[in-house]
A and B are shown apart, each in its own frame.
Chain A
Amino acid sequence: MDKSIDDIRGEAIESLAAIVDSESLAEWRSHYLGRRGAVAVLFRQIGSIPAAERAEFGKRVNALRGELAGAFDERAALVESQRLARDLETDEIDITLPAHPRRRGGLHPSTRTHREFQTIWADMGFQVYRSREVEADDFNFSLLNLPPHHPARDMQDTFYTSDPRVLLRTHTSPGQIRAMRELGAGGSKPIRVILPGMCYRQEQVTARSEIQFTQVEGLAIGRNIRMSDLKGTIAEFARRMYQPDARVRFRASYFPFTEPSMEVDVECFLCGGKGCRVCKYSGWLEIAGSGMVHPDVLRNGGYDPAEWSGFAFGMGPERIAMLKHGIHDIRYFWGNDLRFLRQF
């Protein structure tokens, strides 16, 4: 009987060593360790073993079972790792085939720029205030210090509606009056808002000019708002929007609703200020118009200009997106060609 256990062990170990695939492995397991396998047969023989040898025999069969199970696990691990290695070699796919497309989507570039603006201004305490696009002449002009026949009305080619008192706003500035009146509590509370939105001008549509465009205007009103605050605030915006060390320059300019008025230039972020085609070799890009809120505008918003002061600024998101992305044609923005929109 002893001989038989040793024979089985020798035979099993030898045949196991020759196995290289999982099917033979399963066969081997059933042959030796299965319910009707060689080891099970040995166990069944226990009853026929003389009582004195029975314990010893049982121990040896148990040991054999343990040994074969261990050898099997070892061999199985080896076979599996070899299979994997083989698969890695042969199971190659053509990685140059096109991808299975995923649904993609994207925000309009104008929305993206507005969000960038809003995030930066929100950090500086400026909240979004939105106001209407179809406006009363008063709000778009007269209350902003642009009475009828003011020369600056020529700077803005206005879309009028069939009611001559009503027009499409030419800038977001009428929102200044509305914000002051709504949030200022009769000229008694400070204000910090940005006014984003669509504006309209009666122009020839070309690669450089559109009949509708968005603006972001900012307004800060307080008891002690200084021109230096305007400079500091816009410079901070520019450093966050463009580059951390961007230089900013202020040029005297004219807007009827601010005085003093300034244009804001930022060092050209395309050439680093060295001069390029886009900045017309000046090293500067115009990014905003700004100024101290005109005393008459403060009055029209309900504030006493002897006690209160403020600053305002306006920027054009499309222009900034054009500069940032090298877009040469402003008509792309409302053309909604998916081939354009997909690039953002």
Chain B
Amino acid sequence: MLVPISWLRDFVDIDMPVELLAERLTLAGLEVAHIRYIGLPQQHPPSLRQPTSDHLVWDREKLLLGRICEVRAHPNADRLVLAMVDYGAEELEQCVTGAPNLFPYKDQGAIDPPIWCALAREGATVWDGHSEKPRKMTLKGRELRGIYNKSMVCSEKELGISDEHEGIIILEHDQRYAAGASFADVLGDVVLDIEFTPNLARCFSMIGVAREVAALLDKALRYPACDFLAEGEPISEQVAVDIREPALNPRFTLTLLRDCQVKQSPFWLRRRLQLIGQRPRNNIVDITNYITFELGQPLHAFDYDELCKRAGGAMPTIITRLPQPGERLETLDDVVRELGDDTILVADAAGALALGGVMGGGDTEISDKTRNVLLEAAAWNNISIRKTIREQRLHTEASTRFSRGVHPSQAILGGARGIELMRQLGGGTVARGVLDVYPEPPPTVTVALPIARATQLLGMEVSLDLAADVLRRLEFAVRIEGEIIHTTAPDHRLDISADSAVGQADLLEEIARIVGYDRIPETIMADEMPPQRENAPLLIEERIRDNLVGQGLYEVINYRFTSAQAEAKLLPDNMISSLPDADYVTIANPASSERDVLRHTLLGNMLENAINNARYNKAQQVFELGSVYLQTGDLLPQEPLQLGILLMGARHADWWGGGKSPDMDFYDLKGLLESLLHALHISDFAFQRGTHSSLHPGRSADLLIAGERAGSFGELHPQVAQRLKLTAAKAIIGEFAVAPMIEHARRLHDIAPLPTQPAVLEDIALVVRADLPASEVEAVIRQAGGRLLKDVALFDIYTGDPIPPGKKSLAYALTYQDETRTLTDKNAARIRKKIIGAARHRLNAELRA
């Protein structure tokens, strides 16, 4: 909300720089997002950092309040006139101007009363009114079509008040200022842009902000006069009210002004509305807006004669009620609205008149011809208004306030002040009395605050007097009884709870806010420390991350969102999916159709990354550790943690030492995985032929941990790769469940003693069937080698001459060792013989010569 300081000053004295006031408000929770200066200089209190404003500062000596006493024709130009301006000097200043709003006075002789205006004298700096872009210029004397001119009567644009440059500013006479007064005193202002959190509904008006200022600065708050001169027939004889839904409409008041004149508002009113970003319309509508902003009580004005017409000449009755089935209303913005079942309406016997607390209807709106004004000031249930706002997508200044909560007590103040202002600015006679129907006054809220509670919870000594003083400044009724402060919440507040613990918290917040959070000390918790437990799953997750980073992988974090179609792309034709057999968590209001479910697999988004990264990278090695979301029948889905790995491209990217680096393959990922499992001290794992539907069936494997499938890895299925256009290099991907890794990772493991006896090393090459898995050969070797065979390492695979077709040669480096004695060549030869024998017997293997 825009808050002009000039308006605030109506209600409270401010004796500090605006910048410091803004800071105080911000610290107290009324965040000043922006400060707009109009003509006045920015101040720079030393304690404060702030952006420098580049607005136009009005020169106090050269920008003056003037009076145009006469407008003469320009001798050489039809489109120019000469304004003769009194600015308190002996002689009138002659200004050449093209302002269209002075032409009516041209050659009319002395203007009586003279026109009040803004006069810029030679040397003054103003905005260039003719420039599209903001540009400042300094006035210099020069001839304009043969007439020497050194001063100027200014438009709003030239002074930086608005973009208006059609004519010059014309003010009304203000007795406080004489011709020649500094214009900065007349219209200079500072406007604060304040953002309110939902708990500050009570501050959503000038008086609301002024109340906070008064409490913070410990100043008196001056309320505007809220009584009115009423000399007409009693209102109760001219209109009736019927509230059908007191819970939704706890109060409805009406006042009536007869024989008034609808016309343009005076300058001061238009100016204030303009300062807060409201467009002036006519005096009656402007006053309803003005009171909305001044007191926070939205008003609505009806054309009384229209209501009488609708009542067929009888006394109109205003009814507030829920809509009838299928009922519609055309609102002021010319939209015909379907009404929700629980939309509260203002109606009469003939039909709906307005969306209660939101917007009026077209039929009874104030027009130029309106003579008699019926003014509504009511209270509405904030939740009901919120629903209407949402249903109708209709935000108005009224609905904004009612949806946050306006206390019903404010209706009577707003109505009274509104009708009196209308009388003053529009003339006419006000009907005696207020028609006030108030079926549901909210309960009075009292809270007892033991002062010890304040001291304990705030962590600082709070005296009874201080607490009582702060609450009184905020208009709480306060009574001290022993060590307890008994408070009654003021009637503009809806946010103080009657619940004892919550009410106390409400009061503590007010005390802390007004005293200042900076006054509360910083302490170390003295309270009992909960037992410190280790978070084992988290530790293992972090070890997984560290290990993979150590192996050269980058961690990625993807959107959890995807679409069923995107994940379906991972399934080759005519295959049964091995993605989780669960429903998707489906988003009701997705950001886009590509992101309308939560993922079942990490692979989809990781492959997406790979496509993007392939454009700029010869090699990619990434992993992601994150949840997938499986809707399995319970209200809430399972969120198991998964590990995804993707390798793609050159094994040695950017290698220049000769030869081309081969691409990473299945075995790179296998090695990476073994190394990870080793680091986690998981020994009970194995690989078997892959079963994952998104992987190449012949070039993939499943990982088993403790005999259970814990994931799959290998080459991306070629058909999927084609679909994704991920063909620059083979994508080697894998996805694994993290839970079994956490379960089987050993935190404690024994270390084998270092051998004291020398080892015997020898190589052996076996020729076997080409399709025999190497793991089977190794298993036979290990079994035959027994206890003394410590290590078996495959170091060469060879096919081709002289190995017969259909066969391959596997060469192993064997290590024999006995912990207790030195092995002789004879011992070694015996083991070797057993191995060769077993291989021949069980694998039909030949020893390669």
A interface, CB within 8 angstroms of B: 97-98, 100-108, 110-111, 115, 125, 127-128, 130, 132-136, 149-152, 154-155, 159-166, 168, 183, 189-192, 198, 200, 202-203, 205, 211-212, 220, 222-229, 231-233, 235-236, 249-254, 259-262, 273-275, 279-284, 292, 294-296, 305-306, 309, 333-339, 341-342
Does B587 lie within 8 Å of A223, measured CB to CB? no
Query: Ordered nearest first, which 10 A-B pairs have the shortest CB separation?
Result: A228-B459, A103-B552, A226-B459, A252-B29, A254-B197, A222-B527, A283-B49, A260-B509, A232-B522, A295-B501
Assess whether B198 is in contact with A254, with CB atoms less than 8 Å apart. yes
Identify B616's interface contact among A102, A103, A254, A338, CB under 8 A: A338
Q: Is A155 touching B589 in the complex (CB atoms < 8 A)?
A: no
Interface hub of B382, B457, B557, B585 (most chain A Cβ within 10 A): B557
Q: Is the CB of A152 within 8 A of B654?
A: no
- Interchain nearest-CB distance for A250 vs B (Å): 4
Which of A101, A205, A252, A335 has the most B CB atoms < 10 Å from its CB? A252
Confirm or deny: B506 has a beta carbon within 8 angstroms of a beta carbon on chain A: yes
Most buried by A among B523, B558, B637: B523
Do A128 and B538 form a contact, CB below 8 Å, given A101-B655, A226-B457, A226-B523?
A: yes
The docked-state distance in angstroms from the alpha carbon of A283 to that of B51 is: 10
Let me know if A260 and B505 touch, CB within 8 A.
yes
Given contacts A198-B560, A211-B561, contact A111 B520 (CB under 8 A): no
Q: How far is the CA of A168 from the CA of B457 in the complex (A)?
A: 34
- Hey, which chain B residues are within 8 Å of A115, CB to CB? 542
Asked if residues A295 and B49 are in contact (CB atoms below 8 Å), the reply is: no
Bound Cα distance A339, B612 (Å): 11
Partner of B524, one of A106, A191, A229: A229
Contact B403 A151 (CB under 8 A): yes
* Pairwise interchain contact B629-A338, C-beta atoms closer than 8 A: no
Q: Are A106 and B501 neighbours in the complex by a CB distance under 8 Å?
A: no
Contact with A along B174-210 (1 / 0, CB 8 A): 0000000000000000000000011111000000000
Stretch at the interface among B465-473, B529-537, B834-842: B529-537
Cα of A183 to Cα of B527 in the assembled complex, Å: 17
Least distance between B739 CB and chain A CB atoms (Å): 14
In the complex, how many angstroms separate the beta carbon of B343 from the nearest chain A beta carbon?
14
The prevalent SS among residues of A at the interface is: mixed
Quick check: is B43 within 8 A (CB to CB) of the other chain? no
A161 B588 Cβ-Cβ under 8 A: yes
| Docked CA distance A246–B358 (Å) | 48
Contact B551 A227 (CB under 8 A): no
Q: Say whether A254 contacts B29, CB under 8 Å.
A: yes
Residues of chain A with a CB closer than 8 A to B538's CB: 128, 130
Taking a contact as CB atoms closer than 8 A, the residue among A108, A205, A281, A338 that contacts B50 in the complex is: A281
Residue pair B635, A136 in contact (C-beta under 8 Å):
yes
Residue among B27, B28, B456, B500 making CB contact with A226, cutoff 8 Å = B456
**In chain B, residues 574-629, which have Cβ atoms closer than 8 Å to a Cβ of chain A?**
585-591, 595, 598, 609, 612-613, 616-617, 620-622, 627, 629
Pick 25 A–B contacts, CB within 8 A, sort by A. Answer: A98-B656, A100-B656, A103-B621, A125-B529, A127-B532, A130-B538, A134-B639, A135-B636, A162-B588, A190-B530, A198-B560, A202-B589, A222-B527, A223-B527, A229-B459, A231-B523, A250-B517, A252-B27, A252-B509, A260-B512, A275-B50, A281-B49, A296-B502, A336-B613, A341-B556
Complex: how many Å from CA A228 to CA B552?
46
Of A110, A189, A259, A334, which one neighbours B509 at CB under 8 angstroms?
A: A259
Q: In the complex, given contacts A127-B532, A161-B587, what are 15 additional A-B residue pairs having Cβ atoms less than 8 angstroms apart?
A: A133-B627, A149-B387, A152-B198, A161-B586, A166-B636, A224-B526, A227-B520, A232-B522, A235-B522, A251-B26, A281-B49, A292-B508, A336-B558, A336-B622, A338-B613
In the bound complex, CA of A283 to CA of B49 (Å): 6
Per a CB cutoff under 8 Å, which of A205, A273, A274 touches B591? Answer: A205
Q: What A residues does B585 contact at CB under 8 A?
A: 134, 161, 166
Q: Which residues of B contact A229 (CB under 8 A)?
A: 459, 523-527
Nearest CB in chain A: distance from B35 CB, A: 12
Q: Nearest Cβ distance between residue A177 and chain B, in whole angstroms?
A: 14
CB–CB B554/A151 < 8 A: no
A132 in contact with B639 given A127-B533, A212-B560 (CB within 8 Å): yes
Query: Which residue of chain B has the shortest Cβ distance to A210 in the bound complex?
Result: B559
CB distance from B430 to the nearest CB of A (A): 36
Query: A331 vs B259: C-alpha distance in the bound complex, in angstroms?
Result: 62
Complex: how many Å from CA A334 to CA B653? 25
Q: Are A107 and B612 in contact (CB under 8 A)?
A: no
Q: Is the CB of A104 within 8 A of B552?
A: yes
A211 cross-chain contacts in B, Cβ below 8 A = 559, 561, 591, 595
B555, A111: Cβ atoms under 8 Å? yes
A294 and B505 within 8 A (CB): yes
Contact check: which of A108, A133, A252, A274 meets B28 at CB < 8 Å? A252
Does B518 touch A at the CB level, under 8 Å? yes
Nearest chain A residue, comparing its CB with the CB of B654? A101
* B482 on the A face (CB < 8 A): no
Q: Are B558 and A334 in contact (CB under 8 A)?
A: yes
Inter-chain contact B530/A125, CB cutoff 8 Å: yes
User: Are B512 and A227 neighbours in the complex by a CB distance under 8 Å?
Assistant: yes
In the complex, B742 has a CB within 8 A of chain A: no
**Contact for A273 among B49, B523, B550, B654, CB less than 8 A:** B49
Cβ of B753 to closest chain A Cβ, rounded Å:
33
